[in-house]
């Protein structure tokens, strides 16, 4: 292969590496936003404390948790879509299993927090 073709291949490889890293940063950002929504639900519970009617305060506290679960699964979907496009070009991206495990664990955390907020 000529030197210019080698350099073009190197540039393409680097661009694909940057895309993988950007995808990972985006997933991390979306899941971070979901975790912030969990924190917001806890803050609502603390702020509303003895608010009457209690069912309304609990309902308002649950809304960010629903948003968190939606964010987690949307992040997974977007990340997997990017990984799928990259694997068409024979690029090795991070495993899809890891993204799924993280998504399931964070969703379980949001649901668990919701259960606790409803019971307390």
Q: Identify the three-state secondary structure at position 98.
A: helix
CA distances from 58 to 10, 98, 101, 106, 107 (A): 55, 33, 28, 20, 19
Instruction: List, for residues 14-50, the tens digit of each pLDDT value.
Output: 777 788 889 999 999 999 999 999 999 999 988 888 8
- How many domains does the structure of the chain reveal? 1
Domain of 49 in residue numbering reads as 3-119
pLDDT of 6 over the 80 cut: no
pLDDT classification of 92: cutoffs 50, 70, 90:
low
Global confidence as pTM: 0.81
pLDDT of 107 over the 60 cut: yes
How buried is residue 73: exposed, middle or buried, by Cβ count under 10 Å (0-12/13-18/19+)? middle
């Amino acid at each position: 292969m000529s030197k210019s073709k080698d350099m073009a291949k190197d540039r393409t490889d680097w661009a694909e590496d940057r895309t993988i890293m950007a995808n990972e940063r985006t997933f991390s950002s979306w899941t971070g936003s979901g975790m912030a929504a969990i924190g917001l639900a806890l803050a609502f519970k603390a702020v509303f404390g003895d608010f009457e009617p209690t069912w309304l305060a609990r309902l308002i506290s649950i809304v960010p948790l629903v948003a968190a679960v939606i964010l987690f699964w949307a992040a997974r979907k977007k990340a997997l879509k990017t990984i799928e496009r990259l694997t068409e070009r024979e690029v090795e991206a991070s495993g899809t299993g890891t993204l799924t495990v993280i998504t399931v664990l964070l969703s379980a955390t949001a649901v668990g927090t919701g259960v606790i907020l409803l019971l307390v």
